[in-house]
Structure 1
Amino acid sequence: MKSLMKRVFAAAAAIATVFGLAATTVATANAADNATLTVSTTDAKFAGKTVNAYKMFSATVSGDGKAVSYTLTDEWKPFFKNSTASGLTGATDANVNDKANEYVSSLTGKEKDLVAFAAKASNWAQKNNITAATTTVSTDATDGKYTATFTGLDYGYYVVAVPGATLANASGQYATLVSVDRTNVTANIKGDLPTVVKKVNGESATSAKIGDTLTFTLTSTIPDMSAYDTYTFNFKDTLSQGLTFGQVTSVTVDGVTDPLTVNTDYTVTTPTTSDNTLTVSMKDFKKQQANAGKTITVTYTATLNKDAVVDGHGNTNSATIQYSNNPSSGGTGESEPSKVRVFTYGFTVDKYTGDSYTPDAARLPGAKFTLAPKNGEPMSFVKVKDGNATENAVYRVAKTGEEGATTTIITPANGKVVFQGLENGEYTLTETKAPAGYNKLASAIGVKVNGSNDGTDTTNATVNITYNNDNNDTTYDQTASNGVIPVQNKSGVVLPGTGGMGTIAFTVIGVLVIALGVAWTLKRKNA
C-alpha cells in the first residue's frame, strides 16, 4: 500500500513539475487569475503591430507560488493528437493531457527542439484560427524598447507571436513560449517580419543629372511559409514624379543560378501617370519554401526626368513588401518602407559690370555661355523660363534628342541665369560672347558642385558650389554664396590713334605751300 501511494504522489509531482518548474506540494486553486504579461522588443519594425497570446495550457498555482500544474485546453487537443503538427506521437482522446504535459516537459534544456516546437505551435494556431488574447506594440519606444501589454490574463502556458513573423535567426525562432504563473510576467518578442532594403546605384542616396538612367535594387528575405497553403509576397515601389520607370531587368534568388521568369514566377505592374507605383507580384511563391532565409532581389531602371526636384529634399522613392500574415484568413501586412533619395543640383550665374559686386551694380543682358563637364564637350540645355528685368532665366539639362535643346545660354535683362539638373562634379563655364561694348572673359571659370545629405527625407541637402577664375586651376578657392557665381565684365575702351586734328592741319598747310611753290616756279619760267 505504501508503495502504491508513493507511485501516486510521484506521478502527481511529475505533472506538477512540467516545463522544468519544481513542485514541492500539490497545487491548490489560484487566488485570482488577473495576470499582466508584458512583451518587448528593441526592433522598430514591430512598432504598431498586433501581438497574439494563445493559451495552450491552463495553470493552477499553489498558495505559496512554488508549485504549478497545467491542464491542456480543449482547443489545443487536436494539435497534440496530430503528430505531424506537434511532433508528439501516441496521443489519444483519453491520454492527450498527460501526453502533452510529458512531451513539452521533455523539451526542457533542448533549445533546438523547443524552438522548433514553438514554431509549429505558432503556425498551427494561426492556421486554425485559435482563440487568442491580442494587443498592440507601442509606436513609441521607452528606454529603447517597444512594448505590448496583456492585462487580465488567466494563469497558463502561452504561445506568443506576431502574426506574419518568420525566421528571427539561424535557429528559426519566431514564437515565444511563456508560463504566466504569477501576477506580472515579462518576455521578449521573437521573430522577424518581412522587410525590404532599397538602393539606388548601390547606395541609399545618389546625385544625377536630368536624363541619367539609374539602377534600383529591392532586396528582401524569403520567409518561412510552412504555416501557409498559399503566400502573398509583393514588392511595391513608389517612384517620385521626377523618375520615369524603365524596366525590370531581373528577379533573382541568392544561390540560385537562373533568375526567376516574368509571367511564370512573377508579374509586373508598371507605373502609370495617375499611380506612379511599380508592383512586382510573386506567383505561387510557396514553391520557394525550400529557399526560406535566402535573399531575393528585384532590379529595375528609371530615368531622372524634367520634373525632378532640384536641391531641397531631393527626389524620395520608397518601397515596401506586402506579405501574408494570417494563414487562416488570407490577410496581409505591409513592411516598413525603405527609402532612397536621388539629388540633382544647380547654380546661378550673375552677370554684372562695375568696380564692385553689389545689389545696385549694373547687370548685363546678352552674355553667352556654355557649360561642360571638366575636359568634356558643352552640355545641352532647354530653357524652361524666360528671364526679364526682375526674374532669372532658367535652363535645365536636356534629355537626349529633346526638342529645343541648345548649348548656348544667354543672360536676360537682369543678368541672372540658373543652370539646373546637374550631378556632383567639376564643370567648365565658358563665356563665348560678351555683351556689346564689353570685353569677353580672358579664361573660363571652373565650377565644382558638391551636394550631400544626412540620409533622411525631411531635411534639405547641403549643397556647396565653389569656383575659380582659371579653369586650369585644380583648386576652387571661392564659394558661391547661396549658389550664386558673380561674373564681371569690364567695358571696352576706345584705343588712341596715331594722328589727330593738329596733324591734319599741318598736312593741309604743307600741301598748300607745295602748291604755291609749284605755281611760283611755273610763273618765273613763263616770264
Structure 2
Amino acid sequence: MKHLSKMLKGLVAVFAAAAMALTLAPTAFAETSYKLTLNGTATGHTYEAYQIFTGDLSTNAEGKKVLSNVKWGTAYTGTESAADVAKALGDGTMKIEELEEKLTLTKPVKTVTSSEGSTVIDGLAAGYYLVKDKDGTQANTSDAYTTFIVQVVGDTEADIKSDVPTVQKKVQDTNDSTDTTSDWQDSADADINDEVQYQITGTMPDNIADYTTYKYVFTDKMSKGLTYTAGKATIKIGNKDVTKSFTENVTPNTDGGTTVTWSCDNLKGIDGVTLDENTTVVVTYSAKLNENAVIGANGNPNTVNLTYSNNPNKGGDGETGKTPDDKNIVFTYKTVVNKVDQDTKSLAGAAFKLEKKLSDGTYKEVKSFTAGKETTFEFNGLDDGDYKLTETATPAGYNTIVPIEFTISAEHDTESDDPKLTDLSGDVKSGEAKFTADTNTGSLTTDVVNKKGSTLPSTGGMGTTVLYVAGAAIVVAAGIGLALRRNKRQDA
C-alpha cells in the first residue's frame, strides 16, 4: 500500500502551495464536511484518519482550492508553527521522517472498517489527513499495513494498492525414456527413488524502499512421499548466492511429512544485495520420491508460503504477514499384471521382470518377482515412459509369452492452483496385452495369458499305436527289400 514516506514525496508541491496560501488573498468557503473514498480496499482492515493540518478552505489566485490560515490538526501536540512546517516540507528543508516524529497518532478523528472494493471515511473537515491501518490489525494476515497522506478540500478519492510480496512453487517433469525435461510447472510425475527438482520464487513489495529491515521466511511443507536431505538447497538473489544468509530448519511432522524453513531476519542487511520492487529470491532444491509415495490422483503434494515484514511504519521490525499457500504435486503410477490361462482362469507359477527403457536404448530393471503362488503382480511407483515386461518363469505345461513392450502416458494440470491428474493410458507396442486405466488409483491393469504347449500323447494311447504300426511297416519293408536283392544275386 502507499506508505507515508512514498506519498509525501509526491505531495511536496501541495504543501508548498499550502504555505504560499498564507501570503495570498484567498476567497473563503463556508465551513462544511467532506468524504474520502478509498478505492481498491479489501475486507479485514481498520482504517484510522488523523488530521495533520487544518485551516480555512480557500481559492487562491490561480483558481485552486487551498488551505489558508494553516494550523495543526489534532495529530500534533507541539508548539511549532504549522505554516512554518508546511513551508519547510514544501521547500525541502524538512525531511519527511522529521514530520513523522512530530505526530502523535493516538486520537484519530475517524475510524472505519474496510469493505471489499471501496471504503468511505466521511465527516472530514478540510485539511490534510494521514490514513493508516490501526496497529495490530494486520499481524499474520496476507496483507500489509498502509499509511498515506491525502489532501481533503472537497469530496476526495484515493487508490489503495496492496504492496505485499508473493511466492510461487514450481516443479520439473523429466521423462527418462526420451531424456526430456519440462519447464517449471505446477505438476510432474516420477518414479519412486527419483530426485524431483523444485524451485521457489519470492518477490518484493513495491514499497521495499520504505523498510529499514525486511524479514523473509519460506515455509515448505512436504508430504510423506517426499524425502528432503538437509543442506541441499541453493538460494539466490539475482546471480548472487545468498544461501549462507538464510537459516535452514528441517522438522518432521506428525503425519510423516516434513516441514523445511529457510529464514533471513533482514534481507536488507545482506552484503552486496540491493533490493527493489523487481528483486526476486529463488530457492532450488531436490527431494526424493520415496517408498511412501501415494499412487494415483491424490499424488504427493507440497505447499509453500512466505512470511514477510508488513509494517514499514515501524521500519520492518515486529509484525509480519504471510502469503497464502502455493501448491504443486508429483504423481506416480502402477502397472498390475494378472496371470491367467487361455480360459482366463488365474494361473500360478509364473514370474515377471519389469524394465524401463532409457534414452540411450538400454534397460533398467524396475522390479522382478520369483515364481510362486501369486497370480497378480503389482509394479508400483512408475513414471511415464517406455517399459518392457518379461516372463522369467513360466507355469509348467504352458508356453512363455513374447515380452510385452508398452508406454505409460499421463496428463496433469501444469498451471493450476490445485493440479489434477486428468488422463492415464498404456499403449502396447509389442506382445499381447490390453491395459485398462484408472486415473483415481493411478493403475494400468492387464491380463497376461499363457497358452498350453504341444506334448506327445501318453503311452498306450492311439497315437503311440500308430507310431508302432508305422515302425513295424518300415521293418517289414526293409526285410522284403533285402530278400529281393539276395534273389537277384542268386539268379545272376
The bucket for the TM-score relative to the shorter chain is: 0.5 to 0.7
- The equivalent of 1:149 in structure 2 is 119
Report matched runs for 1:427-438 at 5 Å.
427-438=387-398
Contact preservation (8 Å) 1:53, 1:161: yes
Report matched runs for 1:289-308 at 5 Å.
291-293=274-276, 294-308=279-293
Q: How far, CA to CA, are the matches of 2:399 and 2:391 in structure 1?
A: 10
- The equivalent of 1:446 in structure 2 is 406
Contact preservation (8 Å) 1:267, 1:283: no
1:480 aligns with 2:465: no
- The equivalent of 2:248 in structure 1 is 268
- In the TM superposition, residue 241 of structure 1 has moved relative to its aligned partner by 1.8
- The equivalent of 1:422 in structure 2 is 382
- In the TM superposition, residue 26 of structure 1 has moved relative to its aligned partner by 0.5
Q: How far, CA to CA, are the matches of 1:425 and 1:23 in structure 2?
A: 84
What are the superposed Cα offsets for residues 401-453 of structure 1, whole Å, 9 maximum, x if unpaired? xxxxxx2277965x443322122222222222333333221232313232322
Contact preservation (8 Å) 2:77, 2:103: no
Q: Alpha carbon RMSD of aligned pairs, Å?
A: 4.5
1:127 and 1:75, CA in 2 relative to 1: closer, same or farther beyond 3 A? closer
Instruction: Give the AA of the match of 2:37.
Output: L
Give the alignment partner of residue 203 of structure 1, picking from 173, 185, 190.
Answer: 185
Q: How far, CA to CA, are the matches of 2:17 and 2:466 in structure 1?
A: 134
1:209 and 1:14, CA in 2 relative to 1: closer, same or farther beyond 3 A? closer
Contact preservation (8 Å) 1:29, 1:62: no
TM-score, normalised relative to structure 2: 0.67
- The equivalent of 2:365 in structure 1 is 379
Higher share of residues assigned strand: 2
Q: How far, CA to CA, are the matches of 1:310 and 1:125 in structure 2?
A: 60
1:313 aligns with 2:301: no
Contact preservation (8 Å) 1:137, 1:148: yes
TM-score, normalised relative to structure 1: 0.63
Mind listing any 5+ residue stretches in structure 1 that lack a counterpart? 1-12, 79-92, 108-115, 139-145, 166-173, 356-360, 382-406, 513-527
Contact preservation (8 Å) 2:426, 2:444: no
Q: How far, CA to CA, are the matches of 1:126 and 1:219 in structure 2?
A: 40
Q: How far, CA to CA, are the matches of 1:250 and 1:495 in structure 2?
A: 66
What are the superposed Cα offsets for residues 4-23 of structure 1, whole Å, 9 maximum, x if unpaired? xxxxxxxxx964997xxx99
Q: How far, CA to CA, are the matches of 1:127 and 1:267 in structure 2?
A: 38
Q: How far, CA to CA, are the matches of 1:461 and 1:441 in structure 2?
A: 32
- The equivalent of 1:219 in structure 2 is 201
- The equivalent of 2:179 in structure 1 is none
What are the superposed Cα offsets for residues 175-234 of structure 1, whole Å, 9 maximum, x if unpaired? 655334445x43322352122222224333222211122233322235666555544222
Name the SS of the counterpart of 2:468 in structure 1. helix
Contact preservation (8 Å) 2:349, 2:372: yes
Name the SS of the counterpart of 2:352 in structure 1. strand
Report matched runs for 1:6-155 at 5 Å.
15=18, 25-30=27-32, 32=33, 35=35, 37-40=37-40, 48=44, 53-58=49-54, 67=65, 69=67, 71-75=71-75, 93-95=79-81, 97-102=82-87, 124=100, 147-152=117-122, 154-155=124-125
- The equivalent of 1:253 in structure 2 is 237
Give the alignment partner of residue 264 of structure 2, picking from 282, 296, 303.
Answer: 282
Q: How far, CA to CA, are the matches of 2:50 and 2:426 in structure 1?
A: 64
Instruction: Give the AA of the match of 2:377.
Output: V
Name the SS of the counterpart of 2:252 in structure 1. coil
Q: How far, CA to CA, are the matches of 1:76 and 1:332 in structure 2?
A: 28
Mind listing any 5+ residue stretches in structure 2 that lack a counterpart? 1-15, 140-145, 173-183, 477-492
Q: How far, CA to CA, are the matches of 1:153 and 1:222 in structure 2?
A: 36
Instruction: Give the AA of the match of 2:221.
Output: T
What are the superposed Cα offsets for residues 495-527 of structure 1, whole Å, 9 maximum, x if unpaired? 456952255378789999xxxxxxxxxxxxxxx
- The equivalent of 2:227 in structure 1 is 244
- The equivalent of 2:479 in structure 1 is none
Give the alignment partner of residue 340 of structure 1, picking from 328, 334, 344.
Answer: 328
What are the superposed Cα offsets for residues 313-372 of structure 1, whole Å, 9 maximum, x if unpaired? 3222122221222354711111232222222222323333346xxxxx423334322221
- The equivalent of 1:523 in structure 2 is none
Contact preservation (8 Å) 2:188, 2:330: yes
Name the SS of the counterpart of 2:75 in structure 1. helix
- The equivalent of 1:394 in structure 2 is none
Name the SS of the counterpart of 1:373 in structure 2. strand
Name the SS of the counterpart of 2:27 in structure 1. coil
Contact preservation (8 Å) 1:323, 1:334: yes
Instruction: Give the AA of the match of 2:352.
Output: F
Higher relative contact order (CA 8 A, sep 6+): 2
Name the SS of the counterpart of 2:192 in structure 1. coil
Instruction: Give the AA of the match of 2:159.
Output: N
Q: How far, CA to CA, are the matches of 2:102 and 2:352 in structure 1?
A: 68
Aligned-pair identity (%):
26
- In the TM superposition, residue 312 of structure 1 has moved relative to its aligned partner by 1.2
1:324 and 1:436, CA in 2 relative to 1: closer, same or farther beyond 3 A? same
Report matched runs for 1:459-470 at 5 Å.
460-470=420-430
- The equivalent of 1:408 in structure 2 is 369
Q: How far, CA to CA, are the matches of 1:102 and 1:292 in structure 2?
A: 33
Instruction: Give the AA of the match of 1:207.
Output: D
Q: How far, CA to CA, are the matches of 1:17 and 1:127 in structure 2?
A: 23
Name the SS of the counterpart of 2:295 in structure 1. coil
Contact preservation (8 Å) 1:311, 1:463: no
Q: How far, CA to CA, are the matches of 2:104 and 2:249 in structure 1?
A: 33
- In the TM superposition, residue 298 of structure 1 has moved relative to its aligned partner by 2.6
What are the superposed Cα offsets for residues 145-198 of structure 1, whole Å, 9 maximum, x if unpaired? x52524445244344567999xxxxxxxx8655334445x43322352122222
Q: How far, CA to CA, are the matches of 1:255 and 1:126 in structure 2?
A: 42
- In the TM superposition, residue 461 of structure 1 has moved relative to its aligned partner by 0.8
Aligned length: 410
- The equivalent of 1:325 in structure 2 is 310
